[in-house]
Every structure is written in C-alpha cells, then in structure tokens.
Chains A and B, each alone.
Chain A
C-alpha cells in the first residue's frame, strides 16, 4: 500500500547505487577542450538515445531577491534563439518522433530529448544553439511568467503539503539557499524580468559549466565526434568561478512549526535534521545515512513500520528519507502519519520512542543483509533503464561528485557496518539541527 507516499514524494530518496563490475562497463567519460564534461552510457537493445545537457546551476545559485529565476530561464530556453522561432525546438523534436523536456533543482538545471538514435546530431545542434544564442522578446517573458505562476499554483498553492514543505525548508536552512523554494517565492516570481533571466543565463550557461550525457544506442566514438562538432566550437566562459554559496552557521536551537490548512485531510508529523551529503572521495558517512534511512523507513520490514504499525497501531504510514546527492548540507527526515484517534503529540512521542529503542537495540543483521542484497540486485535492474542511470550521473556530477565517486558508491554502501549506522544515527539525530513540523487541518486538536 503505497498510497501515502505523497508525503515524501517531493523529496527524492537516495540515488540507487552502481556496482564496479558490469554496470560501470557501460559508461565512458571524457572532457572536451572547452571544459564540457561528457558521459556516455551504452544500451544497444533499442534504437533510442536520451540526450541530456546538465548545467551546474540551480535555484541555490540564484541571487537573493530573484527566487525562481533558474526555473524561469529553463522555461524560456524553449522560446526562440537567433535561428529557432519560439516553440520550434520542441516542434522539431516532435517532428522527429522524439519527446523533450527539462527540469530544475537546487543544484542543477537539465534539458533532455528522447529520440531515435540517428537523430542525436540534430539534438546536439539545437541544444548547443540554445546554450549561447537565446533570443528573447518581452512578450515571451510576460506570458511565460504567467505560466510559471500557474505552475506554482498547481504544484504548491493547491497542495497544503507542498506549502508546509516550503515553510519547513525555510526553517531548516537559516542561511543557505536550499531554504528558498526551487520554483520561487510567489512575490519574487511576479517581478522576474528579462534582465534577471539573461543575467542568470550569461553567468551560468557555458560549456565549461555543463555536462553532456548520452544514454542508449550509441558509442563513445560517435558521441565524441558529434559533441566535438556541435559543442566543441562553443567558447568557455572564463569568468566562471567556484560555486560559493552562503553556508549554514552552527545551528543552536531546535525549531518547531505548525501549519494549518482546511484542505488537510490527513494530519502528520515530519522532522528533518540537517545532515552531511556525499562528498568527493568521502562518501562513507553518507552511505551509513542511506543505510540508516533504509533500516528505519525502507519498506514493509523497516524498524519504524514494525514498531509503529505492526507492534503498536500508532501509524498508518511511516518513513525515513535521506538524499545524499547534494552540493551542500542535505537533510535526513522522519515521517509519521498517525492512525485515527492518535494525536500528533502521541505520534511524535511514539516516533521518538521508536528511534530511541532502535539506538538501544542496534541493527538487525538479517535486515541489513537483505538491504545490501537488494542494493546489489539494483545493479542488475538498473541496466534496464539507462535514462535513470543517466539522471544519476547528472545529479551526482552537478553536486561536484566525480565519476569515480559514482562508480565507487555501490562498494561504499556494501562496506557499511552496523556500528557505522549507529554512529551515523547518533551524529544526525541532534535536535538542535532539526525542524519538527505538524501539518494539521483546521480542526486538528493540538493537545489531547
């Protein structure tokens, strides 16, 4: 019963790992002279390629006061260039039987097309074109700004859980831009203009700030030749500096918030703790946190499920989540959706008790082995979906991890011990670094 997953749906779970043998053999990487990194993932079963360009620029790279501009620019890249009319990019992709889209997150913006393998060169030609030749008019800006505000309406304003998430993130990050929503605060989105979009474009869109990923029925030789032809001539941006973003201070005070909305049908408690992310060459702590999240909240046999749904009927749903792929400090979360008749305070207490008991009882060795076996099996299943593999590389490389880090990650996960997991738990479960949120309907009782 996965019905209630919507509670955590917007928080991507830990990326699935890769194993040194087998899956890494599908992957080839190189760098063009202008600094553009290239990743090729081969899968020759179907005559299809996915062509992606990822920029090391996301919402957390925006200037203060312009929240949402990274995502706004992503929309505007489908408007015209010097040689393509507005909308023509997607029209050409469709006319070639392909589909295209784009996505923006805190640490990256990505563009992709899925198309017949022999159209790869055309995709590169057009993607290279809009990396440097964007040509926007004032009309494009105004209409598209209304579109992103409707997108915010759809994703956030119409969803109390999403509004609640924004408030919690803003409380968790006291200084870092991860506290600002990717889509932007509404009042700032309403002021986004051509200058803001073009400033972000000129600063961040350049081959030496981009990663090309091609997955599917192609070869490294073909990708190299086509990439040199289409992306090779683009000049690097010499002013591109390191990504220095405001970091979190030492956090000294637990934060708590309640969010009430008449549209809430199912109240719940969610607590997030600031947590370390995967760092280049140092992924051990993050690996232990991935294992911790799996043990506490990964599915039917997890600790929280067992204690809170099976042994005591305190919850209809529990979860733990952690996303290690992040440029700066990430978060570790715990969720409990209480059973009918269980108050939020009772639910939170039961959650805390369950975690405390887990720290006393330690890790169930059989459960850990089951999780490790499933992670090994993922190396096999992952080969069935190279688009997903491509996204994993893109997310990791834009978070400043290296190809070596990505390829070592499965082994780092397998090496995690029971002691590592408990040490990581004691480290991360520090209430001074946490935000506890209660999502409530208008009627939800605060006390029993």
Chain B
C-alpha cells in the first residue's frame, strides 16, 4: 500500500500560478512616487516606507546613531512629548513601527480609514519633526544598551558579529548596527539630529500602500507626509568584496548547544543567474522539510532541530549564508555533513526530479504571499528597493519556471565554493578543528 498515493498526487501539479492583484503607480505633484494595491473591502490602510541606506550611513566613530535616532522617532515629535505621541496614536488605534537595518530605515504604519488624516499627521511629525527630548533620549539609550549587552551573551548574535567582522572588517557591515555600549553612550542629541537629516531624505525614499485608499488620495498625501524632508543626504557606502577561506572559527562560549553560522560570497539580486541560484538554494537549504540539508542533517541523522541556507544580496555585498545548531558533541558531525552537501551539489548539480519539485513549490507558493494588506504593502516596497518593474508579479513565476538543469549546474559550480565555505561556531564544540588566523 505504501507510496500508492504518489501517482495520484503527481497528477495534481498544475497550479494557479498568478497572484491576482493589480499594482498602480502614482506620483505626487511634488514628484514622490508610490505603489498601491487598492483593497476597499476592509476599512484600513497599510503603508510602508523605506529609506535606502539605513544604519550603514552611520558616520565614522558614531556607530549606533542611526539605530538610536530611529528608535526615538515616535518618542516625541512635533508638539507632543513621548507620552503625548503614544496617547494620540492609541486613541485612534493607529500603529507605527520604525526599524533600522543595514541597508534601510523601514517605517510601517497601519491606520483606520476613519482616522486617516490624524494618523498621517502623527506619522508626518515622527518623520519630519522628531524632538529627541533629553529624557526620551536617555530612556531609549538605556534600552539600546541593555539590548547590546544581551547580544554579547546570545550565541546567534555572537556568531553573526564574528562572521560580519571577519568578512567586512571596517565597512559598516562589519559591526553591529546598534553600536557598542561605548559608542552609544557617547552619542549626543546633535548626532541624532545629524543622522536624521542625513538618512531620512526624499532622494532615497520608497513608498507602498495597500488597503482602503485610492490612488488620488495617496498621491495627494505624499507631499504633505514627506515634502518637508531634506532633498538629499549622506552618500551611500562603498561596495565591499566578500573573501573567505574554508575552515572554522570557534568562539568559546559556555552553553550546551553550539550555534554555527556558515557561508561565503553570494550572488547579486540583479545577476542574470539569480533565479537559478534561488531555485538551487531551495533544493540545498531553503525548503522547509524538503531541502537536502534538512534531510541529511535532521531527518536522517537527528543532528539538529533546524538547518537552513539563504541568499543574502545586500546593497553593497552579496553573501550566501546558512545556520545550524547542534549539541557540543555533535556539531562537528553536522558541519561535516553540510560541507559534504556543499561539495556534492557543486560537483553533481541536482536531479530533474528535485528541480521540478522546487519549481513547483516556488511557483505555487508565490501567490500565497499576497494574503493581506500588510504583506502586500511590504512586498510592493521590497520590489521597489530591488529595482523590479511594476509587472514583476506577473513575470516572476515564468522566470522560476524557465530555470533549467543546465542553469542550476552552472550556477552551482560558480556559487558553491567549498574552498571558501567558512563556519563560525559559538559554543564548546568537541572534535572540531579550528582554523588559525581567521
């Protein structure tokens, strides 16, 4: 009886491979563009903004300024202090979140249709007129420092910090965007004002909205929301080459399970072979329970709860990374298995069956992402950050479907480089040979 159902399932593979959404591009009188999916069935709006550059625009010696500045945007703005701002947002059930990552400052807003003007007025204040009041500054600074201290004792954070330092050195990618306890302690109000003026500027902003709002409404509000921001700000950082050597760096930390971060150079988002690489990674380490890494490390050997690999095309460097965690006496074996899988795929490519399964999954899963105003606005702003065209949603699955076995073999040979695959291991790994020097 076993496996009887397989044939039946195989017959069901034709998928509805289109996301049924219509994206409109609007431009304000002042020249700010935004992408929109109008969805009037629920009376609220999700709005997403991105400012390219993010925490990598920190000035030398000022590490953590952008992160702290972003953390203070809703802690007092315009005529309201921190509590006044929070009360005003709560009283209309609007929510705002502000976040700094390596390549962007992200702003997410969600507000009811019935209080849209009030919500946008609050958001405008936060973006254009943050107060950086002394008491709020000290309160948030203490929270950031508390987080920095926690990161110093968190295995995953320790691994990321060591990997980034090794690969990126003095480039902004090489240090934690939160800064160090000392650098954050030294930040002044002027540093934050300066970071605000240099980072939240009109020349680098991307806007997307989804929900109960028309194109006309959206284009009319953009100038009011963002028009008071400076036209331009700090230059973007330089590109940086990723160089690694095969081996392992051990960061001793007294904890029962070792965490390993591994990887080497990756592939740019606009590389002609990006889709081939994306499909290849689905087979190697991105797919839930189906990937080769999960199958070999977890399902067959029980060495971990989870192992993943992922492409990280950043604005100024491209990485191919992975993560695994295993008990201290088993991590060496997990690493051996991962290395072997890296070599096997680089040398042998993938099978027809694996390729077909990965493509079916990826094309079938894509339309499932568009299942709410929040996710749609997020996808739309991400597309703009990646310089993708307005019709990308309609062509994306064709690009995945077009990937051939030859494409995967070619990209596997180029992308997977066992001679550069480096592991940073945090814990007390047993039987693992560390590579000196790196």
Contact = CB atoms under 8 A, between A and B. Distances in A.
Given A83-B1, A147-B298, A116 B364 contact: yes
B2 A150 contact: no
Contact of A158 (B44, B256, B288, B368): B256
Given A157-B257, A383-B42, A3 B93 contact: no
Contacts of A157: 255-257
A83 B373 contact: no
Interface in B320-365: 325-327, 330, 357, 360-365
Interface residues of A, number: 80
A300 B82 contact: yes
Nearest to B210: A384
B396 interface: no
6 contacts: A82-B1, A83-B5, A97-B365, A216-B371, A264-B153, A370-B90
A263 B290 contact: no
Interface stretch (B13-21, B123-131, B217-225, B241-249): B13-21
Contacts of A240: none
B384 interface: no
List 6 A-B pairs, minimum CB-CB distance, nearest first: A97-B364, A146-B302, A377-B93, A300-B86, A153-B257, A151-B305
Interface in B1-58: 1-6, 9, 12-13, 15-16, 19-20, 39, 41-44, 46
Interface of B: 1-6, 9, 12-13, 15-16, 19-20, 39, 41-44, 46, 71, 82-83, 86-87, 90-93, 110, 112, 135, 138-140, 142-147, 149-155, 253-257, 259, 287-290, 295, 298-306, 325-327, 330, 357, 360-368, 370-374
A266 B143 CA distance: 11
Interface of A: 1, 3-4, 6, 45-48, 78, 80, 82-88, 90-92, 94-101, 114-116, 118-119, 122, 142-151, 153-154, 157-158, 216, 262-266, 299-301, 306, 309-310, 313, 316-317, 337, 339-340, 366, 369-371, 373-374, 376-378, 380-381, 383-385
Nearest to A97: B364
B2 A122 contact: no
B90 A384 contact: no
A1 B301 contact: no
A154 B90 contact: no
Contacts of B301: 143, 146
A114 B361 CA distance: 12
Contacts of A370: 87, 90-91
Nearest to B255: A158
Contact of B143 (A1, A145, A264): A1
B372 A262 contact: no
Contacts of B92: 373
A337 B299 CA distance: 40
